[in-house]
Structure 1
């Protein structure tokens, strides 16, 4: 039951039929509940967009809670909302069901503080070396983010260094992180925390990570190929033992049919290695 605490012309709070009314960050919100029915292609695409976006946002929440804090102040939004909005609108690529993050377009901060120039990202024996031009306010704080897409994790350095240092080394020799795809970002924050720069994409190390769809396709191909190898071996052995002629039995006819079906399926199935 919805309640009108401020009279019949006031705002509602609670449930009314398939509508729910509530207050979020000072704003009155109304949403529907219940079974929405079979989703359309556009709805499925939107769900995947949100799913892909949220996987990234979840992994970088420590970083964005600081990098978007200033932009969120004085608004009804929070850092999480801002990051989700920017990534979903600007940093996705592909078409449903093959949507993925375009890491080069991810924005992690917006501000007026002087940004970074002459950026350099290098892979070292035990970690990652990042360098930049030191022009600007010497005591600005350097914030660095390394995304690890395969792990759905991120290395967040909120106070990585100072601008005047010109370089920062991040140790990553443990757990194989250094040899997996890495997407790197940098921004600068004033020492008093009152200003921040636009974020900058440093680049990629070790190539792009596969999308969820690509991983699923490879897994499916491997499963079909494994079954085909077993069926093929049995089929060829029986043909060989019968001097190259089909065996006159129902079991062999079923085997031959499965052999042909799997063979044709593998020819057209995505996810083939190489």
Structure 2
């Protein structure tokens, strides 16, 4: 039962049929509840997009809070909502079931502070050195803080370094362990004012060490190849029976079982992630 606390013209609170009414950040919201049917391919794609996005942002909480906090002010959204929405819409690539992150399109902060010039990154002993032009003017200050994010897709983790250096220093050093330094790295940098009232868009500093396969991708590829091997065996038997019978389907039970397995395996391969290449 729903309650109209503000009279018949006010917002309901509670459940009416398969609708639930409630307040979210001061705004009236209604959502549908109930049992879901078998998901369609577009629905499955949407689920995977959300899952990939959530995995991407999992280790970026503090960075995202600073990077999108100003944009979220005065809205019904929080910083994580805004970051999730942006990356789900703009930073993914591929089709279901092979949707993945496009690291060139990440935006980990968004603001009006001008972009810093002459950004460079190099691998050095024990980590990474990032440098920039330390000059400042009325729109950017010498005491702006640099924030750095290093994404490591092969382990599915990220490392955030907040307030790693002042703009006036012109460079910073990011310590990474040897194993981390040799894997695929996707680095980003943003600048935020000392009072937290201005932030820059993040800048992608470019891929380091090329693109490697994650453990999840390796597992998916192995599973795909195992299923493909079985499918090739079944397909060979199925096509031979059809050829021997002049492409007229036999009515015996053995063929029906073979045909059923052939169709099931074929359908699984079409929607199974991990296809090589």
Q: TM bucket by the smaller chain?
A: 0.7 to 0.9
Match of residue 99 from structure 1: 99
- Mark the runs of 5 or more structure 2 residues left unpaired by the alignment: 231-261, 267-271
Verify the 8 A CA contact 2:13 2:20 in the aligned structure 1: yes
Verify the 8 A CA contact 2:98 2:274 in the aligned structure 1: no
Match of residue 160 from structure 2: 156
Residue aligned with 1:64, SS: helix
Match of residue 169 from structure 2: 165
Give the superposition deviation at 1:139: 1.3
* CA distance, structure 2, for counterparts of residue 273 and residue 107 of structure 1: 29
Residue aligned with 1:45, SS: helix
Give the superposition deviation at 1:94: 0.9
Match of residue 146 from structure 2: 142
Verify the 8 A CA contact 1:128 1:170 in the aligned structure 2: yes
Aligned runs of 1:54-203 on 2, under 5 Å? 54-136=54-136, 137-173=141-177, 176-203=179-206
Aligned pair count reads: 237
Verify the 8 A CA contact 2:189 2:204 in the aligned structure 1: yes
The 3 A distance-change label for structure 1 pair 42 and 11 is: same
Give the superposition deviation at 1:17: 1.4
- Mark the runs of 5 or more structure 1 residues left unpaired by the alignment: 228-260
Verify the 8 A CA contact 1:98 1:213 in the aligned structure 2: no
Give the superposition deviation at 1:212: 7.9
Residue aligned with 2:43, SS: helix
Please report the TM-score for the alignment, with normalisation by the length of structure 1. 0.78
CA RMSD of aligned residues (A): 2.9
Residue aligned with 2:191, SS: strand
Give the superposition deviation at 1:214: 3.8
* CA distance, structure 1, for counterparts of residue 101 and residue 194 of structure 2: 32
* CA distance, structure 2, for counterparts of residue 220 and residue 149 of structure 1: 20
* CA distance, structure 1, for counterparts of residue 206 and residue 13 of structure 2: 48
The 3 A distance-change label for structure 1 pair 162 and 131 is: same
* CA distance, structure 1, for counterparts of residue 41 and residue 143 of structure 2: 51
* CA distance, structure 2, for counterparts of residue 220 and residue 125 of structure 1: 38
Q: Does 1:3 align with 2:3?
A: yes
Verify the 8 A CA contact 2:63 2:162 in the aligned structure 1: yes
The 3 A distance-change label for structure 1 pair 50 and 211 is: farther
Please report the TM-score for the alignment, with normalisation by the length of structure 2. 0.77
